[in-house]
């Protein structure tokens, strides 16, 4: 009995089958075992096995549980606006934007601990991190110009060691948007507006002097948190504030005045040097996400960051410490 398919059709079927096997083999629906460096699954590329360091190889958010899988970590990092994810010690997940030095790549087989939530996958090892990169990552962007107004984006800054970048918290709202903040500051007569933690709106007649710019991607404190009321735009970050300026304001030339701490900050040029009664001292800092805590933050040109949180009972807990060579 003659075949219903011509030789050309049969050849096409064979080529299609070989192509499918090749593509599926190179881009599987999920990772398993110890993946090959450079392999891709669901748009996530495996970068390799990294050494861990005291300040963490990936310096962003993290979590751990006994249901850990590679996909659970990737989903967590994507949700929190990080392009890189890393799994470690079978149950730990870390997020970041870069591999912090001196962390570096090690033998791939060193990442050999089965994931707690899926033993068919490897979730790093002891002081070893399996690192992945989202090749299709597109995070929200800072809004450069506020529609229908005169507000212009200045930059993202790290909060200073003492006091605040802007002196007055006017609103904290889980539905925060950039226009909501600029309108509140404009209505209160302020020339500067700043957004932080995705939900806080700060205002000021002038911004504090000598602020460290956090636009450098190597800086651990960045404006990377989506606005609570608009996930497509950025509303500052953890310890970082995105500042806007009202272009319609005739802002006086700022001048250096002395704080009671002895540091300089910008004033309104009057020379009075009077400390704004809204300004927070170090021991007066309030984290409006986690409640009242005391925080020490040291930042030097975006290359050294140490954050120490004290709980209300006075117990010190190190949240993050990073040292990056200049």
Distance, in Å, from the CA atom of 96 to the CA atom of 284, rounded to the nearest integer, reads 30
> Are the CB atoms for 223 and 233 separated by under 8 Å?
no
Q: How confident is the model at residue 220 (pLDDT cuts 50, 70, 90)?
A: low
Phi, psi torsion values for 135, nearest 5 degrees:
-75, -15
Distance, in Å, from the CA atom of 246 to the CA atom of 158, rounded to the nearest integer, reads 20
Q: What is the pLDDT of residue 310?
A: 43
Q: What is the pLDDT of residue 316?
A: 45
Distance, in Å, from the CA atom of 263 to the CA atom of 6, rounded to the nearest integer, reads 85
Strands 92-96, 62-64: pairing kind: antiparallel
Instruction: Count Cβ atoms below 10 Å from residue 206 Cβ, excluding itself.
Output: 22
Q: How confident is the model at residue 9 (pLDDT cuts 50, 70, 90)?
A: low
Please list the helix, strand and coil fractions of the chain in percent, rounded to the nearest 5, in that order: 15, 35, 50
Q: What is the pLDDT of residue 207?
A: 92
More confident residue, 316 or 126: 126
Q: How confident is the model at residue 311 (pLDDT cuts 50, 70, 90)?
A: very low
Strands 40-41, 44-51: pairing kind: antiparallel
Distance, in Å, from the CA atom of 280 to the CA atom of 204, rounded to the nearest integer, reads 13
Q: How many helices (H) and strands (E) does the chain have?
A: 3, 21
Q: How confident is the model at residue 28 (pLDDT cuts 50, 70, 90)?
A: low
> Are the CB atoms for 48 and 129 separated by under 8 Å?
no
Whether pLDDT at 78 is above 70: yes
Q: How confident is the model at residue 154 (pLDDT cuts 50, 70, 90)?
A: very high
**Does 30-134 carry CATH code 3.50.4?**
yes
Q: What is the pLDDT of residue 293?
A: 30
Q: What is the average pLDDT score of the chain?
A: 75
Whether pLDDT at 289 is above 70: no
Residue 133 structure tokens: 């990169």
Identity of the highest mean pLDDT range in 15-29, 79-93, 135-149: 79-93
Q: Which helix (H) or strand (E) holds 76?
A: helix 70-79
Instruction: Classify 257 as helix, strand or coil.
Output: strand
For the segment 36-59, the average pLDDT, to the nearest whole number, is 95
For the segment 183-187, the average pLDDT, to the nearest whole number, is 94
Whether pLDDT at 59 is above 50: yes
**Residue ranges of the domains in the chain?**
30-134, 151-280
Q: What is the pLDDT of residues 92-136, one digit of tens each?
A: 999 998 898 899 999 999 999 999 999 999 999 999 999 999 999
Question: Could you give the percent of the chain with pLDDT greater than 70?
Answer: 66
């Amino acid at each position: 009995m003659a075949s219903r398919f011509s030789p050309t059709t049969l050849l096409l079927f064979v080529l299609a089958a070989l192509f499918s096997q090749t593509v599926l083999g190179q881009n599987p629906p999920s990772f398993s075992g110890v993946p090959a460096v450079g392999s891709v699954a669901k748009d996530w590329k495996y970068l390799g096995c990294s050494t861990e360091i005291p300040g963490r190889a990936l310096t962003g958010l993290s979590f751990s549980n006994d249901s850990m899988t590679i996909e659970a970590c990737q989903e967590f990092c994507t949700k929190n606006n990080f392009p890189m994810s890393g799994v470690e010690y079978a149950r730990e997940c870390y997020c970041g934007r870069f591999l912090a030095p001196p962390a570096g790549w090690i033998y791939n087989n060193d990442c050999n601990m089965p994931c707690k939530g899926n033993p068919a996958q490897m979730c790093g090892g002891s002081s070893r991190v399996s690192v992945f990169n989202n090749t299709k990552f597109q995070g929200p962007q800072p809004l450069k110009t506020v529609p229908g107004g005169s507000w212009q984006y200045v930059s993202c800054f790290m909060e200073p060691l003492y006091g605040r970048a802007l002196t007055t918290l006017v609103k904290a709202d889980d539905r925060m948007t950039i226009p909501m903040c600029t309108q509140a500051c404009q209505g209160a007569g302020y020339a500067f507006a700043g957004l932080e933690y995705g939900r806080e709106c700060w205002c000021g007649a002038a911004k504090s002097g000598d602020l460290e710019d956090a636009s450098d991607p190597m800086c651990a404190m960045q404006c990377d948190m989506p606005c609570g009321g608009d996930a497509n735009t950025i509303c500052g970050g953890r310890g970082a504030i995105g500042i806007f300026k009202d272009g319609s304001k005739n802002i006086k030339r700022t001048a250096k005045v002395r704080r009671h701490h002895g540091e300089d900050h910008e004033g309104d040029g009057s020379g009075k040097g009077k400390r704004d009664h809204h300004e927070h001292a170090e021991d007066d800092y309030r984290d409006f996400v986690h409640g009242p805590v005391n925080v020490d933050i040291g930042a030097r040109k975006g290359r050294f960051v140490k954050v120490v949180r004290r709980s209300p009972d006075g117990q010190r807990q190190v949240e993050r410490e990073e040292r990056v060579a200049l």
